[in-house]
Amino acid sequence: MSALATLILLSLKLNFRNRMAILYGYLFPLIFLVAFWALYRNDPVPLALHLGQLVTITVLGGACFGLPTTIVSERERGVWRRYALAPAPRWLFVASILIARYVLLLTAALLQIALALAFGMPLPAHPLVFFIAFTVTAIAFMAIGLVIAMLVDNVPAVQALGQCIFLPMLIIGGVAVRLESLPTWAQTASAFFPGRYAVAALQSAATGSGRAPFELLALLLIALAAGIAAAGLFRWDRQFTPNRAWVAVALGMWVAIGVWNQARPVAVAQPVKDTKEAGTPQTYAAPAVARTWRDVTDADIARIAFDRLPPDEGIVSPVARPDEEPDPVLAPQLERIQAALPGWAPGNVADPVQRARNLLLLAAVPDLMQMEQVERFVPRLVFARLQTVIPPRDLPKILCWIAMHPDDGGDAAIHTLQAFGLPDPTGPATPFHGREMLYAFKLLGRLTGNIKAPR
Protein backbone atom coordinates (compact mmCIF):
# COMPACT_ATOMS: atom_id res chain seq x y z
CA MET A 1 0.00 0.00 0.00
CA SER A 2 2.91 2.37 0.70
CA ALA A 3 4.12 1.82 -2.87
CA LEU A 4 0.65 2.63 -4.20
CA ALA A 5 0.47 5.79 -2.08
CA THR A 6 3.88 6.87 -3.33
CA LEU A 7 2.84 6.32 -6.94
CA ILE A 8 -0.41 8.23 -6.40
CA LEU A 9 1.52 11.22 -5.06
CA LEU A 10 3.91 10.97 -7.99
CA SER A 11 1.00 10.88 -10.45
CA LEU A 12 -0.58 13.93 -8.80
CA LYS A 13 2.70 15.84 -9.10
CA LEU A 14 3.02 14.93 -12.77
CA ASN A 15 -0.59 15.97 -13.40
CA PHE A 16 -0.11 19.37 -11.80
CA ARG A 17 2.93 19.93 -14.01
CA ASN A 18 0.81 19.37 -17.12
CA ARG A 19 -0.76 22.70 -18.08
CA MET A 20 -3.28 21.18 -20.50
CA ALA A 21 -4.47 18.72 -17.87
CA ILE A 22 -4.98 21.55 -15.38
CA LEU A 23 -6.77 23.63 -18.00
CA TYR A 24 -9.28 20.90 -18.83
CA GLY A 25 -9.53 19.68 -15.25
CA TYR A 26 -10.14 22.95 -13.39
CA LEU A 27 -10.54 26.03 -15.57
CA PHE A 28 -12.79 24.41 -18.18
CA PRO A 29 -15.53 23.37 -15.68
CA LEU A 30 -15.55 26.83 -14.08
CA ILE A 31 -16.03 28.47 -17.47
CA PHE A 32 -19.05 26.24 -18.09
CA LEU A 33 -20.39 27.05 -14.63
CA VAL A 34 -20.25 30.80 -15.23
CA ALA A 35 -21.80 30.33 -18.68
CA PHE A 36 -24.69 28.29 -17.26
CA TRP A 37 -25.23 30.85 -14.52
CA ALA A 38 -25.38 33.65 -17.09
CA LEU A 39 -27.87 31.72 -19.24
CA TYR A 40 -30.14 30.55 -16.43
CA ARG A 41 -29.76 33.34 -13.89
CA ASN A 42 -33.55 33.80 -13.89
CA ASP A 43 -34.13 30.31 -12.55
CA PRO A 44 -35.88 30.37 -9.15
CA VAL A 45 -33.00 28.41 -7.62
CA PRO A 46 -29.72 29.30 -9.35
CA LEU A 47 -27.99 26.38 -11.12
CA ALA A 48 -29.86 23.72 -9.08
CA LEU A 49 -31.56 22.29 -12.17
CA HIS A 50 -28.24 22.09 -14.03
CA LEU A 51 -25.89 20.61 -11.44
CA GLY A 52 -26.02 17.18 -13.09
CA GLN A 53 -25.02 18.72 -16.40
CA LEU A 54 -22.21 20.78 -14.91
CA VAL A 55 -20.62 17.94 -12.95
CA THR A 56 -20.92 15.62 -15.95
CA ILE A 57 -19.06 18.20 -18.06
CA THR A 58 -16.33 18.32 -15.40
CA VAL A 59 -15.89 14.55 -15.42
CA LEU A 60 -16.21 14.31 -19.19
CA GLY A 61 -13.53 16.96 -19.76
CA GLY A 62 -11.18 15.27 -17.33
CA ALA A 63 -11.78 11.88 -18.93
CA CYS A 64 -11.72 12.78 -22.62
CA PHE A 65 -8.82 15.23 -22.34
CA GLY A 66 -7.13 15.37 -18.93
CA LEU A 67 -6.54 11.66 -18.33
CA PRO A 68 -5.47 10.62 -21.85
CA THR A 69 -3.38 13.79 -22.26
CA THR A 70 -1.45 12.91 -19.11
CA ILE A 71 -0.96 9.26 -20.08
CA VAL A 72 0.04 9.96 -23.68
CA SER A 73 2.44 12.78 -22.77
CA GLU A 74 4.13 10.56 -20.17
CA ARG A 75 4.34 7.71 -22.66
CA GLU A 76 5.88 10.04 -25.24
CA ARG A 77 8.55 11.09 -22.74
CA GLY A 78 9.39 7.46 -21.96
CA VAL A 79 8.05 7.57 -18.39
CA TRP A 80 5.92 4.49 -18.94
CA ARG A 81 8.90 2.48 -20.18
CA ARG A 82 10.49 3.10 -16.80
CA TYR A 83 7.30 1.95 -15.11
CA ALA A 84 7.43 -1.27 -17.10
CA LEU A 85 11.00 -1.95 -15.96
CA ALA A 86 10.31 -1.26 -12.29
CA PRO A 87 10.13 -4.19 -9.87
CA ALA A 88 6.64 -3.25 -8.62
CA PRO A 89 3.56 -4.95 -10.16
CA ARG A 90 2.49 -3.14 -13.30
CA TRP A 91 -1.15 -2.85 -12.20
CA LEU A 92 0.04 -0.52 -9.41
CA PHE A 93 1.06 2.09 -11.94
CA VAL A 94 -2.28 2.03 -13.74
CA ALA A 95 -4.18 2.04 -10.43
CA SER A 96 -2.17 5.00 -9.16
CA ILE A 97 -2.91 7.00 -12.31
CA LEU A 98 -6.64 6.29 -12.10
CA ILE A 99 -6.85 7.07 -8.39
CA ALA A 100 -4.91 10.28 -8.90
CA ARG A 101 -7.25 11.27 -11.71
CA TYR A 102 -10.27 10.50 -9.52
CA VAL A 103 -8.84 12.81 -6.83
CA LEU A 104 -8.40 15.53 -9.44
CA LEU A 105 -11.97 15.06 -10.69
CA LEU A 106 -13.33 15.10 -7.16
CA THR A 107 -11.49 18.29 -6.22
CA ALA A 108 -12.56 19.94 -9.50
CA ALA A 109 -16.21 18.99 -8.84
CA LEU A 110 -15.99 20.27 -5.26
CA LEU A 111 -14.54 23.55 -6.53
CA GLN A 112 -17.33 23.82 -9.05
CA ILE A 113 -20.02 23.09 -6.46
CA ALA A 114 -18.47 25.60 -4.04
CA LEU A 115 -18.69 28.34 -6.66
CA ALA A 116 -22.28 27.29 -7.48
CA LEU A 117 -23.16 27.57 -3.78
CA ALA A 118 -21.71 31.07 -3.81
CA PHE A 119 -24.09 31.87 -6.67
CA GLY A 120 -27.04 30.76 -4.51
CA MET A 121 -27.43 27.08 -5.34
CA PRO A 122 -28.49 24.86 -2.39
CA LEU A 123 -26.64 21.72 -1.37
CA PRO A 124 -27.65 18.49 -3.18
CA ALA A 125 -30.80 16.95 -1.72
CA HIS A 126 -29.14 13.51 -1.39
CA PRO A 127 -25.41 14.16 -0.77
CA LEU A 128 -24.39 10.51 -0.28
CA VAL A 129 -26.27 9.35 -3.37
CA PHE A 130 -24.77 12.27 -5.28
CA PHE A 131 -21.28 11.15 -4.25
CA ILE A 132 -22.05 7.58 -5.36
CA ALA A 133 -23.41 8.82 -8.70
CA PHE A 134 -20.33 11.00 -9.15
CA THR A 135 -18.01 8.08 -8.42
CA VAL A 136 -19.80 5.76 -10.84
CA THR A 137 -19.75 8.50 -13.50
CA ALA A 138 -16.03 9.08 -12.92
CA ILE A 139 -15.28 5.36 -13.23
CA ALA A 140 -17.21 5.10 -16.49
CA PHE A 141 -15.59 8.12 -18.11
CA MET A 142 -12.09 7.31 -16.88
CA ALA A 143 -12.43 3.90 -18.51
CA ILE A 144 -13.36 5.68 -21.75
CA GLY A 145 -10.37 7.97 -21.26
CA LEU A 146 -8.11 4.93 -20.99
CA VAL A 147 -9.42 3.66 -24.32
CA ILE A 148 -8.59 7.03 -25.91
CA ALA A 149 -5.10 7.00 -24.38
CA MET A 150 -4.34 3.53 -25.69
CA LEU A 151 -5.62 4.27 -29.19
CA VAL A 152 -3.62 7.40 -30.00
CA ASP A 153 0.13 8.04 -30.27
CA ASN A 154 0.48 11.74 -29.41
CA VAL A 155 -1.22 14.58 -27.56
CA PRO A 156 -2.70 16.31 -30.66
CA ALA A 157 -4.42 13.04 -31.50
CA VAL A 158 -5.90 13.02 -27.99
CA GLN A 159 -7.41 16.45 -28.63
CA ALA A 160 -8.88 15.34 -31.97
CA LEU A 161 -10.37 12.05 -30.74
CA GLY A 162 -11.50 13.64 -27.47
CA GLN A 163 -13.41 16.32 -29.36
CA CYS A 164 -15.10 13.64 -31.46
CA ILE A 165 -16.57 12.23 -28.24
CA PHE A 166 -16.87 15.38 -26.16
CA LEU A 167 -18.74 17.68 -28.54
CA PRO A 168 -21.46 15.25 -29.73
CA MET A 169 -22.10 14.22 -26.14
CA LEU A 170 -22.47 17.87 -25.14
CA ILE A 171 -24.71 18.92 -28.00
CA ILE A 172 -26.94 15.92 -28.74
CA GLY A 173 -26.09 13.63 -25.84
CA GLY A 174 -28.19 15.37 -23.22
CA VAL A 175 -25.25 16.97 -21.36
CA ALA A 176 -25.04 20.68 -22.24
CA VAL A 177 -28.58 20.79 -23.66
CA ARG A 178 -31.46 19.31 -21.66
CA LEU A 179 -33.24 16.37 -23.29
CA GLU A 180 -36.62 18.10 -23.48
CA SER A 181 -35.04 20.89 -25.54
CA LEU A 182 -33.67 18.48 -28.16
CA PRO A 183 -35.49 17.48 -31.36
CA THR A 184 -36.82 13.94 -31.64
CA TRP A 185 -33.89 12.49 -33.56
CA ALA A 186 -31.40 13.91 -31.03
CA GLN A 187 -33.38 12.53 -28.09
CA THR A 188 -33.18 9.10 -29.71
CA ALA A 189 -29.46 9.50 -30.42
CA SER A 190 -28.76 10.64 -26.85
CA ALA A 191 -29.74 7.20 -25.55
CA PHE A 192 -26.51 5.86 -27.11
CA PHE A 193 -24.26 8.31 -25.24
CA PRO A 194 -23.11 7.73 -21.65
CA GLY A 195 -23.45 11.42 -20.79
CA ARG A 196 -27.23 11.17 -20.74
CA TYR A 197 -27.17 8.61 -17.95
CA ALA A 198 -24.56 10.52 -15.96
CA VAL A 199 -26.67 13.70 -16.03
CA ALA A 200 -29.83 11.81 -15.04
CA ALA A 201 -28.15 10.01 -12.11
CA LEU A 202 -26.45 13.14 -10.78
CA GLN A 203 -29.50 15.38 -11.21
CA SER A 204 -31.76 12.87 -9.50
CA ALA A 205 -29.47 12.95 -6.48
CA ALA A 206 -29.11 16.74 -6.61
CA THR A 207 -32.77 17.77 -6.66
CA GLY A 208 -34.92 14.71 -7.26
CA SER A 209 -35.79 11.40 -5.68
CA GLY A 210 -32.19 10.22 -5.51
CA ARG A 211 -33.13 7.00 -7.31
CA ALA A 212 -31.65 6.27 -10.74
CA PRO A 213 -30.99 2.50 -10.81
CA PHE A 214 -31.06 2.09 -14.58
CA GLU A 215 -28.72 5.02 -15.14
CA LEU A 216 -26.19 3.79 -12.57
CA LEU A 217 -26.32 0.26 -13.97
CA ALA A 218 -25.83 1.63 -17.50
CA LEU A 219 -22.75 3.58 -16.40
CA LEU A 220 -21.26 0.55 -14.63
CA LEU A 221 -21.75 -1.62 -17.72
CA ILE A 222 -20.18 1.07 -19.89
CA ALA A 223 -17.24 1.22 -17.47
CA LEU A 224 -16.84 -2.55 -17.57
CA ALA A 225 -16.85 -2.71 -21.38
CA ALA A 226 -14.46 0.24 -21.70
CA GLY A 227 -12.16 -1.30 -19.09
CA ILE A 228 -12.02 -4.56 -21.04
CA ALA A 229 -11.32 -2.67 -24.26
CA ALA A 230 -8.59 -0.59 -22.58
CA ALA A 231 -6.97 -3.76 -21.23
CA GLY A 232 -6.96 -5.26 -24.73
CA LEU A 233 -5.46 -2.09 -26.20
CA PHE A 234 -2.96 -1.54 -23.39
CA ARG A 235 0.65 -0.70 -24.33
CA TRP A 236 3.63 0.68 -22.46
CA ASP A 237 5.28 2.21 -25.50
CA ARG A 238 3.95 4.10 -28.52
CA GLN A 239 6.03 1.88 -30.81
CA PHE A 240 3.62 -0.99 -30.27
CA THR A 241 0.48 -0.96 -32.43
CA PRO A 242 -2.67 -1.94 -30.51
CA ASN A 243 -5.37 -4.18 -31.90
CA ARG A 244 -8.07 -1.60 -32.53
CA ALA A 245 -10.75 -4.25 -32.79
CA TRP A 246 -11.06 -3.96 -28.99
CA VAL A 247 -12.80 -0.61 -29.51
CA ALA A 248 -15.85 -2.55 -30.68
CA VAL A 249 -16.29 -3.91 -27.14
CA ALA A 250 -16.65 -0.42 -25.69
CA LEU A 251 -18.82 0.96 -28.50
CA GLY A 252 -20.90 -2.21 -28.55
CA MET A 253 -21.94 -1.56 -24.96
CA TRP A 254 -22.99 1.99 -25.86
CA VAL A 255 -25.21 0.55 -28.57
CA ALA A 256 -26.62 -2.17 -26.30
CA ILE A 257 -27.45 0.33 -23.55
CA GLY A 258 -29.10 2.64 -26.08
CA VAL A 259 -31.26 -0.15 -27.49
CA TRP A 260 -32.15 -1.26 -23.98
CA ASN A 261 -33.14 2.28 -23.02
CA GLN A 262 -35.32 2.65 -26.10
CA ALA A 263 -37.11 -0.60 -25.24
CA ARG A 264 -37.85 0.43 -21.65
CA PRO A 265 -41.54 1.24 -20.93
CA VAL A 266 -40.82 4.64 -19.39
CA ALA A 267 -41.84 8.17 -20.16
CA VAL A 268 -39.32 10.03 -22.28
CA ALA A 269 -38.97 13.61 -23.30
CA GLN A 270 -41.19 14.58 -26.22
CA PRO A 271 -40.17 16.25 -29.45
CA VAL A 272 -39.87 19.99 -29.70
CA LYS A 273 -40.67 22.31 -32.51
CA ASP A 274 -37.64 23.93 -34.11
CA THR A 275 -39.22 27.36 -34.36
CA LYS A 276 -38.83 30.04 -31.71
CA GLU A 277 -41.38 32.38 -33.23
CA ALA A 278 -44.93 32.79 -31.99
CA GLY A 279 -46.31 33.77 -35.38
CA THR A 280 -49.38 35.98 -35.79
CA PRO A 281 -53.09 35.32 -35.16
CA GLN A 282 -53.51 34.71 -38.88
CA THR A 283 -50.98 31.89 -38.60
CA TYR A 284 -53.59 29.88 -36.73
CA ALA A 285 -56.97 31.27 -37.87
CA ALA A 286 -58.69 33.37 -40.49
CA PRO A 287 -59.38 36.99 -39.41
CA ALA A 288 -62.41 37.19 -37.13
CA VAL A 289 -65.36 39.39 -38.05
CA ALA A 290 -66.59 39.89 -34.49
CA ARG A 291 -66.66 43.53 -33.31
CA THR A 292 -66.29 42.75 -29.60
CA TRP A 293 -65.46 39.66 -27.56
CA ARG A 294 -69.19 39.11 -26.95
CA ASP A 295 -69.72 38.76 -30.71
CA VAL A 296 -67.34 35.79 -30.99
CA THR A 297 -69.22 32.75 -32.29
CA ASP A 298 -68.61 29.03 -32.41
CA ALA A 299 -67.89 29.46 -36.12
CA ASP A 300 -65.05 31.87 -35.30
CA ILE A 301 -63.55 29.28 -32.96
CA ALA A 302 -64.04 26.51 -35.50
CA ARG A 303 -61.82 28.37 -37.98
CA ILE A 304 -58.81 28.07 -35.66
CA ALA A 305 -56.12 25.59 -36.76
CA PHE A 306 -55.20 24.22 -33.34
CA ASP A 307 -52.95 21.63 -34.95
CA ARG A 308 -50.57 24.40 -36.05
CA LEU A 309 -49.78 25.49 -32.50
CA PRO A 310 -46.34 24.71 -31.08
CA PRO A 311 -46.45 21.42 -29.13
CA ASP A 312 -46.84 21.56 -25.36
CA GLU A 313 -43.50 19.76 -24.98
CA GLY A 314 -41.59 22.28 -27.09
CA ILE A 315 -39.50 25.32 -26.26
CA VAL A 316 -42.22 27.78 -27.30
CA SER A 317 -45.26 28.11 -25.00
CA PRO A 318 -44.61 24.84 -23.15
CA VAL A 319 -47.31 23.36 -20.90
CA ALA A 320 -46.64 20.51 -18.48
CA ARG A 321 -48.73 17.37 -18.77
CA PRO A 322 -51.43 16.85 -16.11
CA ASP A 323 -49.51 13.85 -14.74
CA GLU A 324 -46.13 15.60 -14.86
CA GLU A 325 -44.55 16.54 -11.55
CA PRO A 326 -42.07 19.42 -11.22
CA ASP A 327 -38.59 18.96 -9.85
CA PRO A 328 -38.83 19.20 -6.02
CA VAL A 329 -36.53 22.21 -6.03
CA LEU A 330 -39.23 24.15 -7.90
CA ALA A 331 -42.01 23.38 -5.41
CA PRO A 332 -41.52 26.50 -3.23
CA GLN A 333 -41.54 28.80 -6.28
CA LEU A 334 -44.70 27.23 -7.73
CA GLU A 335 -46.43 27.23 -4.34
CA ARG A 336 -45.59 30.90 -3.99
CA ILE A 337 -47.12 31.67 -7.37
CA GLN A 338 -50.25 29.66 -6.59
CA ALA A 339 -50.65 31.36 -3.22
CA ALA A 340 -50.17 34.86 -4.66
CA LEU A 341 -52.62 34.45 -7.56
CA PRO A 342 -55.88 35.14 -5.66
CA GLY A 343 -54.57 38.43 -4.22
CA TRP A 344 -52.82 39.69 -7.37
CA ALA A 345 -54.63 42.94 -8.25
CA PRO A 346 -54.14 42.72 -12.08
CA GLY A 347 -55.74 39.27 -11.98
CA ASN A 348 -58.88 40.71 -10.38
CA VAL A 349 -59.60 43.84 -12.44
CA ALA A 350 -63.21 44.50 -13.37
CA ASP A 351 -62.77 44.13 -17.15
CA PRO A 352 -62.84 40.35 -17.80
CA VAL A 353 -60.78 40.65 -20.99
CA GLN A 354 -58.01 42.63 -19.33
CA ARG A 355 -58.19 40.24 -16.36
CA ALA A 356 -57.57 37.30 -18.69
CA ARG A 357 -54.80 39.18 -20.53
CA ASN A 358 -53.00 39.88 -17.27
CA LEU A 359 -53.14 36.25 -16.19
CA LEU A 360 -51.93 35.05 -19.58
CA LEU A 361 -49.00 37.48 -19.37
CA LEU A 362 -48.07 35.75 -16.11
CA ALA A 363 -47.60 32.55 -18.12
CA ALA A 364 -45.76 34.34 -20.92
CA VAL A 365 -42.98 35.88 -18.80
CA PRO A 366 -41.29 32.64 -17.57
CA ASP A 367 -41.53 31.25 -21.11
CA LEU A 368 -39.80 34.14 -22.83
CA MET A 369 -37.25 34.55 -20.04
CA GLN A 370 -36.41 30.84 -20.34
CA MET A 371 -36.97 30.04 -16.69
CA GLU A 372 -36.13 26.36 -16.84
CA GLN A 373 -39.09 24.08 -15.95
CA VAL A 374 -40.98 26.92 -14.24
CA GLU A 375 -42.20 27.95 -17.68
CA ARG A 376 -43.86 24.56 -18.09
CA PHE A 377 -45.85 24.58 -14.86
CA VAL A 378 -46.97 28.19 -14.49
CA PRO A 379 -49.43 27.87 -17.45
CA ARG A 380 -51.24 25.09 -15.60
CA LEU A 381 -51.75 27.42 -12.61
CA VAL A 382 -52.85 30.25 -14.90
CA PHE A 383 -55.32 28.04 -16.78
CA ALA A 384 -56.87 26.90 -13.50
CA ARG A 385 -57.12 30.48 -12.27
CA LEU A 386 -58.75 31.68 -15.49
CA GLN A 387 -61.43 29.04 -15.16
CA THR A 388 -62.08 30.29 -11.64
CA VAL A 389 -62.34 34.04 -12.28
CA ILE A 390 -64.02 34.05 -15.71
CA PRO A 391 -67.54 32.64 -16.19
CA PRO A 392 -67.46 29.39 -18.21
CA ARG A 393 -69.80 30.77 -20.88
CA ASP A 394 -67.57 33.82 -21.43
CA LEU A 395 -64.08 32.31 -21.18
CA PRO A 396 -63.94 30.70 -24.68
CA LYS A 397 -65.08 33.94 -26.30
CA ILE A 398 -62.59 36.03 -24.33
CA LEU A 399 -59.71 33.67 -25.11
CA CYS A 400 -60.53 33.70 -28.82
CA TRP A 401 -60.75 37.49 -28.77
CA ILE A 402 -57.40 37.84 -26.99
CA ALA A 403 -55.74 35.36 -29.34
CA MET A 404 -56.97 37.25 -32.38
CA HIS A 405 -56.11 40.67 -30.86
CA PRO A 406 -52.97 40.04 -28.78
CA ASP A 407 -51.67 43.63 -29.00
CA ASP A 408 -54.82 45.24 -27.60
CA GLY A 409 -55.28 46.09 -23.95
CA GLY A 410 -52.72 47.22 -21.39
CA ASP A 411 -49.51 45.46 -20.38
CA ALA A 412 -48.73 47.26 -17.09
CA ALA A 413 -49.28 43.97 -15.26
CA ILE A 414 -46.03 42.65 -16.70
CA HIS A 415 -44.14 44.90 -14.27
CA THR A 416 -46.01 43.75 -11.15
CA LEU A 417 -44.73 40.17 -10.94
CA GLN A 418 -42.48 40.61 -7.90
CA ALA A 419 -45.19 39.07 -5.73
CA PHE A 420 -44.63 35.80 -7.60
CA GLY A 421 -40.86 35.93 -7.31
CA LEU A 422 -40.56 36.53 -11.07
CA PRO A 423 -38.13 39.03 -12.64
CA ASP A 424 -39.26 42.36 -14.03
CA PRO A 425 -38.91 42.09 -17.83
CA THR A 426 -37.22 44.81 -19.83
CA GLY A 427 -37.64 45.78 -23.45
CA PRO A 428 -40.75 45.90 -25.65
CA ALA A 429 -43.89 44.02 -24.66
CA THR A 430 -44.62 42.69 -28.16
CA PRO A 431 -42.89 39.30 -27.66
CA PHE A 432 -44.89 38.76 -24.48
CA HIS A 433 -48.10 39.48 -26.39
CA GLY A 434 -47.09 36.74 -28.81
CA ARG A 435 -46.83 34.20 -26.00
CA GLU A 436 -50.09 35.54 -24.53
CA MET A 437 -51.72 34.73 -27.86
CA LEU A 438 -50.36 31.17 -27.91
CA TYR A 439 -51.46 30.42 -24.37
CA ALA A 440 -54.91 31.83 -25.14
CA PHE A 441 -55.16 29.49 -28.13
CA LYS A 442 -53.96 26.54 -26.06
CA LEU A 443 -56.45 27.01 -23.22
CA LEU A 444 -59.22 27.63 -25.75
CA GLY A 445 -58.34 24.38 -27.47
CA ARG A 446 -58.58 22.53 -24.16
CA LEU A 447 -61.92 24.06 -23.29
CA THR A 448 -63.40 23.20 -26.69
CA GLY A 449 -61.91 19.73 -26.87
CA ASN A 450 -59.73 20.57 -29.88
CA ILE A 451 -56.59 19.93 -27.82
CA LYS A 452 -56.41 16.80 -25.79
CA ALA A 453 -54.07 16.91 -22.79
CA PRO A 454 -51.53 15.47 -22.77
CA ARG A 455 -50.85 16.16 -26.43
pLDDT band at 349 (very low <50, low <70, confident <90, very high): very high
Q: List CB contacts of 40: < 8 A, sequence separation 6 or more.
A: 46, 47, 49, 50, 370, 372
Residue extents of the structural domains in the chain? 2-263, 281-448
pLDDT band at 278 (very low <50, low <70, confident <90, very high): low
**Per-residue pLDDT tens for 50-66?**
899 999 999 998 888 88
**Per-residue pLDDT tens for 195-242?**
999 999 999 898 877 888 999 999 999 999 999 999 998 887 776 777
**Per-residue pLDDT tens for 389-425?**
999 999 999 999 998 888 888 888 888 988 898 888 8
Does this model's pTM top 0.85? My answer is no
pLDDT top residue among 76 and 111: 111
Closest to 202 (Cα-Cα) out of 318, 307, 53: 53
302, 288 contact by CB (below 8 A): no
pLDDT at residue 272, rounded to an integer: 38
Whole-angstrom Cα distance, residue 245 to residue 153?
A: 17
| DSSP 8-state class, residue 271 | P
Q: Is the pLDDT of residue 97 over 60?
A: yes
Alpha carbon of 307 to those of 67, 119, 290: distances in Å? Answer: 50, 42, 23
pLDDT at residue 186, rounded to an integer: 86
Q: How far is CA 384 from the centre of its chain?
A: 28
Whole-angstrom Cα distance, residue 301 to residue 294?
A: 13
Radius of gyration from C-alpha coordinates of the chain: 27
Say which amino acid occupies 62: G
**Per-residue pLDDT tens for 157-196?**
888 888 888 889 988 888 988 777 777 788 889 999 999 9
Closest to 169 (Cα-Cα) out of 199, 195, 144: 195
